[in-house]
Structure 1
Amino acid sequence: MVAPIAVLRTRPLMVVAPHPDDESLGLGGLIAAARALNLPVTVVFLTDGERSHVGSPTWPARRLAAHRRLEAVAALGELGVAGASAHFLGLGDTRLHALDGAAQATAQAKLATLAAPNTLVCVTAATDPHSDHQAAAALVDRVPWAAGVEIMHYPVWTWTRRDADLPITPLRGVRIDVATHLPRKRAAIAAHRTQHGELIHDAAEAFVLDSAFLARFAAPTETLIWPR
């Protein structure tokens, strides 16, 4: 286990999240640590997570997308990140794997412009079972980054997989001590209220973060993995 400074050094941090809440769950502690060190933090949301509650007459996709953006900005505020440092690409929830070549190139160009040289760029792990998380990792890995940019992956849903379903070759990574920043991380996770079943009660299909899953992110460490 290492201190955040050992990973961040004096570099800017960019976190790429497929959906609002992935950044808080997977790397809320590291984001808060970076801000405590006065390091620049940029967070890019590839989608608005607008398909988390399908079939709600009171929360159609457009309204939900707008609200989830507000939740994301509020969550980042809990971590010390200004709203101006949040970027929303609106690429389509559950549709990242289906982006055509032109859309991918546009997204990759945007990501490249947001990262200064020597930035640490973190994206969801390719071992996450969610297709958007896997597509995000593949998208980021092919960006024409500036000199010195380092890519690392952060697991979110990987923790729910059986060991037998993970790659046979051990993954290489590092555990980061974020105990000092857990109160900020908890507040950031709580800010994503739609994902806790607090706002929407009439959806035909509703996604809710259950307590057992959330308990995994109350630990005093976060994990970063080097791409395979």
Structure 2
Amino acid sequence: MRLRLAGIRRALIVAPHPDDEIIGAAGLIRRLKTIGAAVSVVIVSDGGASHPGSRRWPRARLVAERRRESRRALLMLGVSARDLRCLALPDGDLPRHVAEAVRHLRRLSARADLIVGPAADDAHPDHRAVAAALDRLPGRARRLSYRVWPPRRRGDVQGLTLPVPGGSAFKRLLIARHRTQLGAIRDDPAGFAIAAHELRAFAQPIERFGGAR
């Protein structure tokens, strides 16, 4: 079923980590900007836990770079730095910071008529924690959810669908801005990197969302 966006004026996109906003909702963000909606993005964690064993990329450097990566990718979608908020809660420990996330998100979502965030059944505990925080927000804004982990299989027809403007190639280009998550950090063998099959799944030409049509 096709996702309809008529009447949306102010949208808030919430990401647990830098890059989730691109993986989960890049096409949606671009479509919202096309129809003239104001789009704000909130990244809840600092993104600093992906390479704890790297000497070249200590946490402070990694956090700063991941924030820059999100800014670059979002700028390609028409979202400027002033419309990006980074709460900088500890990556990998968001389940212990749900109440703090709620306090921030309540203020940032006050004027939104669409709130988009991770699915409650996402496999990553940080994502589930952010979903729990969003579930505690007051108001009547429309809600949509995206799932990142595990990546959706090609051909999955569940949920509301939205074609990605520019298709797979454009989404892959956006994800590529997050080079720290694609193998650019090489001095931590146990560090995280998006695998080739995961990248293919993340760069599908159709995004899927849970929520009301």
TM-score by length of 2: 0.89
Matches of 2:9 and 2:102, distance apart in 1: 21
Aligned residues: 209
- What stretches of structure 2 of length at least 5 have no aligned partner? none
Q: What RMSD over aligned residues (CA atoms) do the two structures have, in Å?
A: 2.2
Alignment partners' CA distance in 2, 1:219 and 1:184: 10
Question: Could you tell me which residue of structure 1 aligns to residue 148 of structure 2?
Answer: 156
Residue number in structure 1 paired with 2:127: 133
Check if 1:213 corresponds to 2:198: yes
Q: Which residue of 2 aligns with 1:36?
A: 34
Q: Say whether the 8 Å CA contact 1:118–1:148 is kept in structure 2.
A: no
Q: Residues 1-228 of structure 1 correspond to what in structure 2 (within 5 A)?
A: 1-2=1-2, 6-7=4-5, 9-99=7-97, 104-144=98-138, 147-159=139-151, 173-180=159-166, 182-198=168-184, 200-226=185-211
| 1:17-66 Cα distance to aligned partner (Å, 9 max, x none) | 01001110111111111112221111100112101111111111111011
Q: Give, as a single letter, the amino acid of the residue that structure 2 aligns with 1:206.
A: G
Counterpart-to-counterpart distance in 2, 1:176 and 1:16: 18
Distance 1:31 1:177, change over 3 A: same
- Cα distance, 1:178 vs. partner? 2.3
1:69-120 deviation per Cα after TM superposition (whole angstroms, max 9, x unaligned): 1111111011111011110001100100122xxxx44432321222244521
Gap runs ≥5 in structure 1: 162-170
**CA contact 2:158–2:208 (8 Å) conserved in 1:** no
**Contact between 2:5 and 2:32, CA under 8 Å: does it hold in 1?**
no
Counterpart amino acid of 2:36? N
Residues 187 and 60 (structure 1 numbering): CA distance in 2 closer, same or farther, change over 3 Å?
A: same
Letter in 2 for 1:138: A
Aligned to 1:164: none
The CA distance in 1 between the partners of 2:21 and 2:136, in whole Å, is 20
Determine the C-alpha separation between the residues in 2 that align with 1:195 and 1:28.
17
Q: Could you tell me whether the CA contact under 8 Å between 1:153 and 1:225 is conserved in 2?
A: yes
Cα deviation for residue 150 of structure 1 reads 1.8
Contact 2:169/2:203 (8 A) holds in 1: no
> C-alpha distance in 2, partners of 1:118/1:201?
40
- Report SS of the residue matched to 2:134: helix
In structure 2, the CA distance between the partners of 1:212 and 1:183, relative to structure 1 (3 Å rule), is closer
